[in-house]
Amino acid sequence: MSAPFGERLDDAVASRGALCVGIDPHAALLEKWGLPDGPDGLARFTDAVVDALAGSVAVLKPQLAFYERHGSRGLAVLEEGVARARAAGALVLLDAKRGDIGSTMDAYADYLRPGHPLAVDAMTVSPFLGPGSLQPAVDTARAHGGGLFVLARTSNPDAGTLQHALVGERSVAQVVVDTVRGWNTPGWGVGDPLPDVADRAGRPTGSFGVVVGATLPHLDVDLDGLGGPVLAPGLGAQGGSVADLRRLFGSGRAVLPTVSRDVLSAGPDAAGLRAAAERWTTELGARPWR
């Protein structure tokens, strides 16, 4: 069992800065890079990104769908890329957005088991079947030092259709946040007083986080006492900025901003990819982690 994901994330951010770079090899980007839309082009793309960034960026976030679309050869490319990225010191967050129940969820959570061919540090999951449906993944993460990021308050235009729906007096998004807060605080129950933020001083970041978009018009969920990281997608090409991070999250939270197109568009040149990632890391450096 390795150190918990939250502790490893703290260490990675301390040494490399709080930046997550998405690896999204969609067909249009492969074409822009002058690569064929097939397993060979996918492999060349993945190798270039990993070689350029895995030694300096805290977290790399490959999108599973862009590898699955190429079948077994695409997954083989991802397996090799993930292993190489982790060997170079980057944490790998698999953007899978899996969500199911029982043995099926347990099988999805196998990505967090060290012996899995596609073993990763953390993965994204969906709570649509109910937060309790994710318990097998929580158990696997705790057993093997893995992490989870649960979709909570995303910023796609129609997200509020479901995420603003009420469960009693709380929104669905707030129920998700409260559930994850409980995972990071053993013994805490919904309705109990929030954990005192001061009590968390000096503690490592928890291993269970939520996804909250960086392009929201305002923050409409209460993240106080979450104890874990906030994955904030949307910087750069999607319209989000460092100012939006400050506006939404203030300071003193473990916020992991994620950038994809603004970095990947600088490829395939390795120096260009590194320079783009370094620019974001420098700009984000003014934000304190936790």
Contacts of 87 (CB under 8 A, 6+ apart): none
Q: Closest Cα partner for 164 from 154, 172, 175, 152? A: 172
Q: What is the dihedral of CA 79, 9, 56, 154, to 10 degrees?
A: 80
Return the structure tokens found at 253.
Answer: 């939270």
User: Are 90 and 58 spatial neighbours (Cβ–Cβ below 8 Å)?
Assistant: yes
Does 97 participate in catalysis according to the annotation? Answer: yes
**φ, ψ for residue 241, nearest 5 deg:** -135, 170
User: Are 116 and 78 spatial neighbours (Cβ–Cβ below 8 Å)?
Assistant: no
Q: Closest Cα partner for 245 from 206, 288, 279, 207? A: 288
User: Are 32 and 265 spatial neighbours (Cβ–Cβ below 8 Å)?
Assistant: yes
Pairing of strands 166-167, 170-171: antiparallel
Question: How far is it, in rounded angstroms, from Cα 141 to Cα 98?
Answer: 14
Annotated catalytic residue within 97, 170, 247, 261:
97
Question: How far is it, in rounded angstroms, from Cα 112 to Cα 4?
Answer: 12
Q: Closest Cα partner for 257 from 51, 10, 22, 2? A: 22
For the annotated catalytic residues, the residue numbers are: 97
